[in-house]
Amino acid sequence: MKRALAPLAALVLAATALPAASASVAPTEGRNVPSATASLPRQGDMDTLQELPNCPTGAKANQLLTRFPLNASDHGGIIPLGNLMPTSHTLPTAHMYVAIAGTTYLPQIPGQPPEVAPGNDKKLYAPGRMWIVQLNTFDTLFDDGTVRHEFDYWFGLCNQVTGRFGHVSGISSKLAKAIKGLKPDCFEYSIPTQWPDRSFRSCAYNNLKIALTAGELIGDAGGHNGNLDFKLVDMRRPDAKFANQSRWLPEVARAVCFLDYYPAKLKKKFYGFLGNHDLSIKRTVEPRCGQIAQDVAGTAKGAWLYQVTGWFLGREDDQLALVNDNIEPQYQVVSMGAAGLSKGIPSGSWRFIPQKSGQVNRDFSQVKPDGKVYCYDDGRQEAKMLITMPSATKVRVGTTTGSCTGTLTIGEYVEFDR
């Protein structure tokens, strides 16, 4: 039975209507902020996907890409699926990153994400025959009157395989001409706790059908970001397995590694770039391209949601992940969002070598509802994270500034579920 494409469209704006400086910080406060459902595109915003050619079958079913989107000298490492960067990417990220060569980061302002010095724009090319079906513009409006422009868009490779490029710093004249005169859906918002000196305006041009050939210039990557986001969703694939499948839309559960859609020779070549930005660390553990769903039912391992009912619609700020690192999976990571800040529980990530016994840095897959409190210490931060499971589908997180020795009690906590 062919699964409908409508659920995929439901997350387009939720995943893309975001500040240029941080690709996944959803609008949470400020002026003119739509509700969680009002900000989502109406059903049909990507109906043109269904007008595209049928996907190939047989031996060439996945050979949909033929050219890398950047020139060889313009990119560094390819960051695998599952990247963590709380709070904007608290859960394992369902897209990959292509590092932009020549990126220089500005001195970081405490409490704010890093920003990039302008001048790292690189030409962006269509990686295969494709049709752009939705184009989004993002304007950052600074209090001093300056405006920063950025773009992203969804495209179809065929009627059941959809991709997204994020952090596009410029679009080609062909794309600019195609949207000229069209009226987009727009809204403005601000996030004063993170960016007190700016607000944001997001606009979506829906139901496009702009045909591109492999290798055709489509714009620029980089600009105000050190990465190109590249996401691919294959509706022909079975869902990745989560502990509670009903919480996860196909936009996450069917996200795939875009490198797997090249012919074998190119795939092997590009797999050699899987690692961190400068390739000083490479991912060598299978699955080499990373992993989004890491849930182990009945244990602490995996993704956890905070006060979410029904489908998870993409706001990661308040969530929790207890998962393996996406580049060096021999490490595990507590990726904690902002849900516990009001109770003194910090946001951030704690990375450690998991232990097979005891209650300190215990492997998440061995933490069960046994009445024990487990302590996580990365050796870098004063705060240690405390975790206990009151049931097979709930986990509580607290914190301590003491040591992980002696009798541990959790005190103030925030509770997540699946």
Mean pLDDT, the chain, rounded, equals 87
Give me the residues paired with residue 335 across strands.
321, 349
Residues facing 138 on adjacent strands: 150, 202
pLDDT at position 123 is: 96
Quick one: 354 and 249 in the same domain? no
Tens of pLDDT, residue by residue over 247-282, are 999 989 999 999 999 999 999 999 999 999 999 999
Q: Are residues 249 and 325 in the same domain?
A: no
Whole-number percent of the chain with pLDDT over 70: 88
Residues 263 and 318 in one domain: no
246: domain CATH number is 2.70.70.10
Least confident of 86-90, 122-126, 292-296, 362-366: 86-90
CB atoms within 10 A of CB 33: 17
| 171 and 309 in a common domain | no
pLDDT tens track for 394-415: 999 999 998 999 889 999 999 9
pLDDT in tens, 151-189: 999 999 999 999 999 999 999 999 999 999 999 999 999
pTM of this prediction exceeds 0.75: yes
pLDDT at 18: 41
Q: What residue type is 176 in one-letter code?
A: A
Q: Where are the beta strands (DSSP E) in 68-216?
A: 75-79, 96-100, 122-125, 130-142, 147-158, 161-171, 185-189, 198-205, 210-212
How confident is the model at residue 14, as a pLDDT? 34
- Residue 255: the pLDDT is 97
Where does a domain end: 222, 249, 271? 271
pLDDT in tens, 75-99: 999 999 999 999 889 999 999 999 9
pLDDT tens, 6-51? 333 333 333 333 443 333 222 222 323 332 222 333 334 668 888 9
Count of domains observed in the chain? 2
Percent of the chain beyond pLDDT 90? 75
Residue 222 has pLDDT above 90, yes or no: no
Q: In the listed set 251, 271, 291, which residue is the last one of a domain according to the structure?
A: 271
Mean pLDDT of 373-378: 97
Q: Over range 144-153, report the average pLDDT.
A: 90
Which range of residues forms the domain containing residue 350?
A: 302-417
Q: What is the pLDDT of residue 113?
A: 66
pLDDT for 391 = 98
Whole-angstrom distance, CA of residue 134 vs CA of residue 205: 6
Query: Which amino acid, one-letter code, is at 417?
Result: D
Residue 289 predicted with pLDDT over 80: yes
Instruction: Indicate whether 333 belongs to any domain.
Output: yes
Q: Are 376 and 384 in contact (CB under 8 A)?
A: yes
- Tell me how far apart the alpha carbons of residues 220 and 190 are, in angstroms, rounded to a whole number: 26
Is the same domain home to 264 and 306?
Answer: no
Asked whether residue 159 is domain-assigned, the answer is yes
Which two tokens mark 106?
């500005």
Domain presence at residue 290: no
Rg (CA), the chain: 21
Q: What is the pLDDT of residue 225?
A: 87
Same domain for 347 and 412, yes or no, is yes
Taking the C-alpha atoms of residue 390 and residue 300, their distance in angstroms, rounded to an integer, is: 11
**Within a 10 A sphere around the Cβ of 50, how many other Cβ atoms?**
14
286 within some domain:
no
